[in-house]
Structure 1
Amino acid sequence: MTTAPLLETEAVRVPVLSADEAIAAATELAADLAATSVDRDRDRILPAEELDRLSSSGLLAITVPAEHGGADLPTEVLVEVFRILASGDPSVAQVPHSHFVYVNAMRHQGTPAQQRFFFGEVLAGRRFGNAQSEVGTQHMRDIRTSLTPAGQGSWTLRGTKGYSTGALFADWIPVLARKDTLAAPGTGPLHVAWVERHAPGVRVTDDWNGMGQRTTASGTVELVDVDVPDDRVTPYHLTFQGPQTYGAFAQVLHAALDVGIARAALRDAAEFVRTSSRPYPDAGVERAADDPLVVQALGRMEVDVRASEALLREAGRTVDAADDDLTAGTAAAASLAVAAVRAHSAEVAVDVSSRLFEVCGTRSALDSLNLHRHWRNARTHTLHDPAAWKVQHLGRHVVDGTPPPNHGQL
């Protein structure tokens, strides 16, 4: 089978948003997501309609470069959009994480023709998923999916991917694979193969069964002899041959998800205390909201969440500053700023979503209320990358100025 060559998308169909418009759109959507997130999580209702609304809003196109007709909004704005969406429903917010990461990959490694086509796809409301991680390999950067030569400018893609967030809902699935030679399989440099979601040989299985982030559909992608023409392959390995913010960009979006979860947990805790909690008799008050111990606990939680939000804003600005003047030093500063918020937000998201029950009391543990979804979401998402390694890299830099490693997880 021969796949059709890339043709430019005919028309732009989603709005091109300013920064203020993007924040407003995210805020409106997050409010609606919050109103229905309990049911989606409890019944595992996949958010197809919500993602279609996200696409049509123009929010998924806000990082398309200006020269290709996009809004070209900075990372600082995108991070705030992610935080807001995650405060409404972090599962819905996580689905487009890889979409933005691979828009960024196309920006840095795509040819002009590839950029025209794929950015046109994004501006037409189409979504990118991901097929990156693999299950059962030695570690997360051990990639065995392969692109082998098929002749006449074509490649054959084979492999199995896990944790493929966004793939089920995608129009295009960027697949991380080794571009091998017939003589040396499994040793080639890493590339991204851009395959259509419903292309022959592509099978996406909704087998994600995590305790949290339940509706991300982060399942399995099987790739059986998928035909990939050369103009749908972009280099990945070249990204890390010099200073880069690719890893910091991806990681700061994960931090935004954690911060959004923490804010949502605190918001719901305060609402429950105001409306549903009974005061402890020793407090001598008529409302739980007037119990000084409850107020103190909520105040401490607010301090922690605000600290994460501040670190998040700083990290977004630092990534933007590095992109404006990319050197080894500015790239390291971006990675360290992101490492700080990743470490802090992971701890805060888990702590606040757990302390929710402490301030709300026994009734808050009822399964029917589903307040435990905040903790389940936080505990699940914060496992994405070990926070302890973020602290290690920060500590080594503090001790003797050691720069962070130059890879995609930092």
Structure 2
Amino acid sequence: MSDPSCPVPVLDAPAALAAAASLAGEFAAGAAERDARRTLPYAEVDRLAASGLLAITVPAAHGGADLPAAVVAEVFRRLAAGDPNLAQIPHSHFVYVNLLRRRGTADQRGRLFAEVLGGKRFGNAQTEFGTRHVRDHRTALTPDGTGRWRLNGTKFYCTGALFADWIPVLAHLGVDGPMHVAWVRRDAEGVEVVDDWDGIGQRTTASGTVRLRNVAVGGEWITPYATEFDGPQTYGAFAQVLHAAIDAGIARAAVEEAAEFVRTKSRPYPDAGVERAADDPLTVHAFGEMELSLRGAEALLAEAASAVDAAGADLTGSSAAAASLAVAAARAATAQVAVAVSSRVFEAAGTRSALAGLNLDRHWRNARVHTLHDPAAWKVQHLGRWALDGAPPPRHGQL
């Protein structure tokens, strides 16, 4: 857990982008080995927090840089190109900072934003196993008769929780009441974080289980959640554009690592009549097609992040819908290109690229797992309904 006595630097946009690029280079150096050994990146997460990058969306009124979504998305894309695990770990941190600024009380904002500026980190305990669907929850806050609440439930896919100081927990207020967020300390009595994540990709995110057994929660640490979706909002679009940035980073890393392999290790196919594999016209064409598709996805990502910022500046039903649709397009495109490119690089790089010791397959495994967060097909459905009938997308946290 982080040290609250060490305030982090407040980064403007150029400094944030430079820090992300620098850290991405550091993280890339050990990414393959961490994946192969499933070495959890405690030291790297500490470096990320100490850099000030996790505080870049704290509002200016609370002493933060208040950087726009366009910058945050590019920070995520750069980090993901270094190690997408280290980009995904703080995803929920940014999402719940966003909820705090939108729905938190003045006291909650004052206290928790100060924590973030002091280097503290938020995780998440949101999704559950065994419910009807991803937005169905059984975890509940129930009154204990003393003016406080008791939190009970089990959550999974709790990315960031193992590395966090605070765990925002999505729960019913009352057994069947509206959804709220309970802010609980990682070390609070009754909180157990279990490292049981065993996915084939994103292996070092520690996206495992959080068990909550009669955790005491004061009313001052409960924030409304369901009401966020009663009107126009960009909460879901902001969360989703960061996921798209992670996918774009995975794809870029796969192309760059494969290109380096082709330049230095691949042999040319005899029929090409060239000395270097990088001069084989079929290889050049394959990389050109991958670059073309990736540039298109990156452009959609940048456009989507800008649409989130535009809607935030003038929030209406129309601007919120435009942001959600732009993000849906980016999310569908980056998901598709991440999986396709991270698979095709083997075809372009040749047989030796499949050696296990290179661990080049981690890019495909990371892409395949991360793109499962939300079905890309539903993004396309909402785009199609808009194109045909002008139907606005639904309001929820996954669009």
Structure 1 and Structure 2 fold alike (TM over 0.5) = yes
Q: Deviations for 1:77-123, whole angstroms, at most 9, x for unmatched residues? A: 00000000000000011000000000001000100010000000000
Match of 1:320 in 2: 309
Q: Identify which of 93, 108, 111 aligns with 2:105.
A: 111
Structure 2 counterpart of 1:351: 340
2:24 aligns to what? 30
Counterpart selection for 2:228 from 223, 227, 239: 239
Structure 2 counterpart of 1:242, one-letter code: G
Q: Secondary structure at the match of 1:151?
A: coil
Contact conserved, 1:311 with 1:340, CA < 8 A, in 2?
yes
- Rounded to whole Å, the distance in 1 between the matches of 2:16 and 2:330 is 23
Q: What is the deviation of 1:269?
A: 1.0
Alignment of 1:235-274 (within 5 A): 235-274=224-263
CA-to-partner distance for each residue in 1:145-175, whole Å, 9 max, x for gaps? Answer: 0000113331000000000000000000000
2:202 is the alignment partner of 1:213: yes
User: In the superposition, relative to structure 1, how do residues 74 and 372 fare at CA in structure 2: closer, same or farther (>3 Å)?
Assistant: same
Amino acid at match of 1:44: R
| Contact 2:4–2:119, Cα closer than 8 Å, also in 1 | no
The alignment's TM-score, normalised by the length of structure 1, stands at: 0.96
**Aligned partners of 1:136, 1:274: CA distance in 2, in Å?**
48
Alpha-carbon distance between aligned partners in 1 of 2:294 and 2:361, rounded to the nearest angstrom: 18
For the pair 1:293 / 2:282, whether they are aligned, the reply is yes
Check whether the contact 1:12–1:120 (CA below 8 A) recurs between aligned residues: no
SS in 2 for 1:215: coil
Identical amino acids, percent of aligned pairs: 68
Structure 2: distance between partners of 1:387 and 1:195: 32
Preserved CA contact (<8 Å) 2:73 2:305: yes
Distance 2:339 2:260 in 1: 19
Contact in 1 for aligned 2:304/2:327 (Cα 8 Å): yes
> How far, CA to CA, are the matches of 1:30 and 1:11 in structure 2?
26
Q: Which runs of 5+ in 1 are unaligned?
A: 1-8
- Which of 292, 311, 314 aligns to 1:303? It is 292
Q: Which runs of 5+ in 2 are unaligned?
A: none
Q: Which amino acid aligns with 1:225?
A: N
Asked whether the 8 Å contact 2:89–2:205 carries over to 1, the reply is yes
2:61 matched residue in structure 1:
67
Matches within 5 A, 1:6-45: 13-45=7-39
**Structure 1 residue 11: Cα displacement:** 6.5
State which of 180, 191, 195 in structure 2 corresponds to 1:202: 191
Cα RMSD (Å): 1.0
Q: 2:264 aligns with which of 254, 261, 275?
A: 275
Q: Is the 8 A contact 2:24 2:83 kept in 1?
A: yes
Residues 1:331 and 2:336 aligned together = no
Residues 4, 120 of structure 2: 8 Å contact kept = no
Among candidates 217, 223, 238, match of residue 228 of structure 1: 217
- Map of 1:385 onto structure 2: 374
Partner residue, 1:3: none
Query: Paired residue for 1:340, among 310, 316, 329?
Result: 329
**C-alpha contact (below 8 Å) 1:83/1:259 kept by paired residues:** yes
**CA positional deviation for 1:293:** 0.3
